[in-house]
Amino acid sequence: MVVVWSHKAKLELKKVFDYIALDSLKYAAMVRDEIIDLTIALGQHPEKYALDKYKINNDGSWRAFEKYHYRISYKITSNQIRIVRLRHTSQSPLNY
């Protein structure tokens, strides 16, 4: 299954990279690359992570995981896994 990042999620990942790079370019690249690698692996195991507890009336297709204090939310469809949002866990979650 193919993994696709929403435009908003891509922008959020770039902001994360830019922010961390202010202190350490090496650590910024490590965080970015590991998040990307984890999302790529979803293509083989889309249901690896728990249901997204912030999704109202979740039909089982909305899931999320955390890495380095960042929460990555994604939706599983019949032909793709869509990375919808990336946010720092200190930010308030969206109810959607």
Closest to 87 in 3D by CA, of 4, 33, 13: 13
What pLDDT, on the 0 to 100 scale, is given for residue 18?
A: 97
What pLDDT, on the 0 to 100 scale, is given for residue 13?
A: 98
Domain boundaries, the chain: 2-88
* Fold entry, domain 2-88: YaeB-like fold (3.30.2310)
Which residues neighbour 7 within 8 Å (Cβ) at sequence distance 6 or greater? Answer: none
What pLDDT, on the 0 to 100 scale, is given for residue 90?
A: 84
- In order along its 96 residues, the chain shows pLDDT tens digits of 999 999 999 999 999 999 999 999 999 999 999 999 999 999 999 999 999 998 989 999 999 999 999 999 999 999 999 999 999 988 766 654
Edge-first strand order for the sheet with 70-76 is: 2-5, 80-88, 70-76, 62-67
Q: What is the pTM of this model?
A: 0.90
What pLDDT, on the 0 to 100 scale, is given for residue 85?
A: 95
What pLDDT, on the 0 to 100 scale, is given for residue 81?
A: 98
